[in-house]
Structure 1
């Protein structure tokens, strides 16, 4: 849809353009029927002062956005004098309606003082009309005042709606920032916890391999590979935080296709891990694929921390509408290293899985096997 009409209307509603339009209308004879007259006094011929008053009711519209109260004050005084002197009708008097709306929608401060001053000024205007023997009575004066209040009320309504929209957008922006911070915190937890845990466990075990230089070299190579993988994932994550505005390059986020490498690295670190895949691999959205990878990663991290040296089986079942993941660890260390536990892994993982429309459960069965199960749909939301 073209935005030209909207741009044209916005340009027309700007102060200087609006002032020019109403000034031109104010001096066209056939537009007098549109005028906002009041008082019904016998008309007198127009003169130079009538021209000045007409300009006073239109030109101040140019500053209505910056000084709405000042613009309204000038226009209202000129309107009152114009009607009290009983000059011929002119469309320039419509500037009063625009000024009333502008005060309601644009005036930021001293609104009470403006309302009181306007009411007092209107009372003086009505008294002048009464002294000049205007045929209008009290009902007419009240009706005109109510009409003026309606103009201001429309402006106030627009102002309120505008403020609500600004507040809504601010809340949405804050919620988006909070969600992004939460997502980044989860990513940091998953990346750092897994790789650092693996490196700590591997380095602790290396001191018992001094009798076998080959095993020491292999263990050190595994620690190096784990550190490099951690750096790779951290660089991918930190690229999102850069202030350059560049998006991280595609393909950096790990997915289910990277699980075999994850299992191999964990196995090389001394944890007996078996990977079983059932069915044809199903394409998952990026967010869902990353979540599935994090499920396996977190479960293997827990296996290294709490079931070190015990058999762990990773089963991935592919369905047409999703993927099922189960990581089962046989046995739990009697005295796990609590310094490696942050206590947020599974709870954060459950939130992540629910965020893509899946379900996660974790716990020990009667056979003593600790299982982490997740079901993630193919059509999960990103």
Structure 2
């Protein structure tokens, strides 16, 4: 029984929320009109002039209707609404009819003009001020006992409703602007993230393909079997790159749909896929030693993705700037963090690589990784080794990002 009553109570509320603004405002106008004929509410209303009361009749009823019916347009045509109601209110006061609840329509019209007027927000208040001054002059000539102070005090009340609506409009505009800026920032952040993903995917796989193709050119005459392996590695690298690029394109397509947006972390690689990177580097002629320490664990997708990209970028740099030198990868799983250490040996450090290290003014890949690690409240350190070569060390909290 309680559920049924609750359901019947929700149905009118849903219908009211879905109704057009004309229907909602028409209901307000109708309610104000009928309430104007309740005697106990006659003491509530807007009144200025205090002229001798005239007996109500057909004209008074028409003026009551004229002070309420235009509220139907209070949000769609606020200037027209205010003009009609203000004219009806002035005529009602000048003719000396008794105050009715319908006179509150003037306050509602002033509020609506301040809140919903799309343009002429300076012209309409100026015209309203001129109209009010003319009304005060007419009432004074008709014998109103009100003084200039009384008219001034009533004008403050009228201005108060206008300013209230104006304040609501400004607040709504600020909220809309804040939502727009937030949406733009989110789009920009996602674009930057996708750009970093594209950089990582293209740079790593294309580098591997170029190195293996160069090696295959020299191996074809003397070692056809090894050349075949190099060509096979090129094919595998191309397929992997296409798979990752299709995934990124799927993210872009989903972002443009009306459904829930996907992010680049939705298909984050597992840490187990690091072995694929290692095998690819080995097929490219880079000696790589891979070691895992600690109990098996499954960090959040954003942590797995950044960990994968750190190893990928380090291997790319090793293949480009220290080809043929041993590279060691250590993944150390701890209860609260994941530590990745990638060390490439060598007899010296490439000047190009030194310029790419974070803090040296270059290196889009490593600097981009440093930003991504910081976003997870982690730490990324890159440095050249005294004995030659370089090292990349990343520390990632297993709980991922904490905003």
Q: Give the TM-score, by structure 1 length.
A: 0.93
Shift of 1:159: 0.5
Whether 2:96 is the aligned partner of 1:97: answer: no
SS of the residue 1:41 aligns to: coil
CA contact (8 A) 2:53 2:97 kept: yes
CA pair 8-33 structure 1, distance change in 2 beyond 3 A: farther
User: Where does 1:340-355 land on structure 2 (aligned, <5 Å)?
Assistant: 343-355=363-375
CA contact (8 A) 1:327 1:371 kept: yes
- Name 2:26's counterpart in structure 1: 16
CA pair 334-135 structure 1, distance change in 2 beyond 3 A: closer
CA contact (8 A) 1:308 1:333 kept: no
Whether 2:228 is the aligned partner of 1:217: answer: yes
Give the alignment partner of residue 307 of structure 2, picking from 282, 289, 292. 292
Shift of 1:28: 2.6
- Name 1:274's counterpart in structure 2: 289
User: Where does 1:45-56 land on structure 2 (aligned, <5 Å)?
Assistant: 45-56=55-66
SS of the residue 2:122 aligns to: helix
Shift of 1:369: 3.0
User: Where does 1:136-147 land on structure 2 (aligned, <5 Å)?
Assistant: 136-147=146-157
Give the alignment partner of residue 236 of structure 1, picking from 229, 242, 247. 247
Superposed CA offset, 1:48-107 (max 9, x none) = 111111111000000111111111011001001101111122111010000010111111
Shift of 1:365: 2.1
CA pair 246-9 structure 1, distance change in 2 beyond 3 A: closer
Whether 2:333 is the aligned partner of 1:318: answer: yes
Unaligned runs of 5+ in 2: 1-6
SS of the residue 1:283 aligns to: coil
CA pair 248-102 structure 1, distance change in 2 beyond 3 A: closer
Give the alignment partner of residue 383 of structure 2, picking from 363, 367, 372. 363
SS of the residue 2:344 aligns to: strand
Matches of 1:92 and 1:7, distance apart in 2 = 27
Give the alignment partner of residue 121 of structure 1, picking from 117, 131, 135. 131
CA contact (8 A) 1:26 1:54 kept: yes
CA pair 335-44 structure 1, distance change in 2 beyond 3 A: closer
Whether 2:178 is the aligned partner of 1:158: answer: no
Matches of 1:27 and 1:375, distance apart in 2 = 76
Matches of 2:351 and 2:367, distance apart in 1 = 22
* Count of residue pairs the alignment pairs up: 380
CA contact (8 A) 1:321 1:377 kept: yes
CA contact (8 A) 2:317 2:353 kept: no
Shift of 1:251: 7.2
Whether 2:88 is the aligned partner of 1:78: answer: yes
Matches of 2:350 and 2:35, distance apart in 1 = 91
SS of the residue 1:290 aligns to: helix
Whether 2:58 is the aligned partner of 1:43: answer: no
Matches of 2:349 and 2:398, distance apart in 1 = 36
CA contact (8 A) 2:385 2:391 kept: yes
SS of the residue 1:362 aligns to: strand
Shift of 1:277: 1.0
- Name 1:205's counterpart in structure 2: 215
Unaligned runs of 5+ in 1: none
Cα RMSD, aligned residues only: 2.5
